[in-house]
Amino acid sequence: MSALLEVENLCIRYPSMGRVRAALTGAEREFDAVAGVSFTLDKGQTLGLVGESGSGKSTVARTLIGLKRAHSGTIRFDGQDITQAGAREYARLRREMAIMWQDPTGSLSPRLTVGSLVTEPLRIHGKGGDMRAEATRLLEMVGLPAHFASRFPHQLSGGQARRVGVARALALDPRLIIADEPTAGLDMSVQAEVLNLLAEMQARLGIAILVITHNLNVVRHITDRMAIMYLGRFVEQGPTDRIWSAPCHPYTEALLSANPEPDPDAARARITLEGEMPSPRSRPAGCEFHGRCPRAREICASEAPDVSRQTPDHAYTCHFPVCTDASGG
């Protein structure tokens, strides 16, 4: 399988203060919200970016679709370097990369009908044809009857609004969908419906999906690979099944232990992390997780761990990993 999206050593910076204040205080004007993130997403695969709020995962998504500039690093889409792509190039790329926003009702114009909403990307990109027939086709693809085309967003349930979001994302026949918290605010049964729909679309159309979420059940349900973010860095990434059964990083282990497990025999002992995630404006020395890590030892406060590999495609950064055959202690 070949890589559709390749991200290498991506750094994304945000301003921390104004120019004048920075000049007066001598402090750094910007901080790294995302620091050295690398991953690949193959055609037809699903990757989950997982992390708490403030971990940098949505910043990665915004940068991939050109709403934020990378400070350094490289983004390649289908072999083409798009890191510094301009507005015209992104207009073309948006046909190939679609985004499903977190709050579908809020991101759907309340004055447009569902039919106009799902066909809007076609009109924006100058596609002609019978828009009514297109609306019917797109709605049927996501399991909504054609008569929904005349409804307005406020007349939709949360699950129906998500389906409309998926239909809009599919309108231009993209090769990549970025799904930002695709199940946020939905109850469990509707979450499953939306995830099944995404999985079905992927299997049917061979689309690659990048899922941005803090919900581990979403990741388990539909991703082939997962990457766990903490303070703008990946602390672990690899095949979802493998990380689920044998996490290496203590942060991953703690996240998994807090996830409700339907099978009581598979439930893990809950690991409670102390404190809050620090600010990326003032990163701790050494391993940036050391202040909250139950396995931290002296070296963790001064030396940042290198990337280690449990298997060729399962990487983590930790001096004392949880995965027993690599722990050395």
**In degrees rounded to 5, what are phi and psi of residue 305?**
-70, 145
Residue of the chain from 13, 162, 225, 290 that contacts ligand SF4 (CB under 6 A):
290
CB contact at 8 A, 77 and 97:
yes
The CA angle 168-170-171, to the nearest 5 degrees, is 65
Closest CB to ligand SF4 among 148 and 289?
Answer: 289
- Per CB under 6 A, the segment of 33-41, 189-197, 254-262, 315-323 that binds ligand SF4 is 315-323
Q: Give the range of 27-35, 43-51, 132-140, 316-324 binding ligand SF4 by CB under 6 A.
A: 316-324
Applying CB under 6 A, does 95 fall inside the site for ligand SF4? no
Please give the Cα distance from 101 to 168 (Å, whole number): 11
Reading the block at residue 166, the tokens are 């998926």
Taking CA atoms, 5 is separated from 43, 96, 136, 299, 322, in Å, by 8, 11, 31, 36, 30
Residue 322 is a binding residue for ligand SF4 (CB under 6 A)? no
Does 318 bind ligand SF4 (CB under 6 A)? Our answer is: yes
Q: Note whether 314 binds ligand SF4 by CB under 6 A.
A: no
* 287 near ligand SF4 (CB under 6 A): yes
DSSP 294: T
> Who contacts 271 (Cβ-Cβ below 8 Å, separation ≥6)?
250, 253, 254, 257, 258, 294
Closer CB to ligand SF4, 185 or 278, in the complex: 278
Least Å distance between CB 313 and ligand SF4? 20
**Is 231 one of the binding residues for ligand SF4 (CB under 6 A)?**
no
Binding to ligand SF4 by residue 233, rule CB under 6 A?
no
CA 31 to chain centre: 21
The minimum distance between CB 295 and ligand SF4, in angstroms, equals: 4
SS3 helix, strand, coil % of the chain, rounded to 5?
A: 35, 25, 40
- Footprint on residues 293-312 left by ligand SF4 (CB under 6 A): 293, 295-296, 300, 305
> Is position 178 an interface residue for ligand SF4 (rule: CB under 6 A)?
no
Tell me whether residue 63 or residue 317 sits nearer to ligand SF4 (CB atom): 317
103 with 184: CB under 8 angstroms? yes
Tell me which residues touch ligand SF4 (CB under 6 A): 249-250, 287, 289-290, 293, 295-296, 300, 305, 318-320
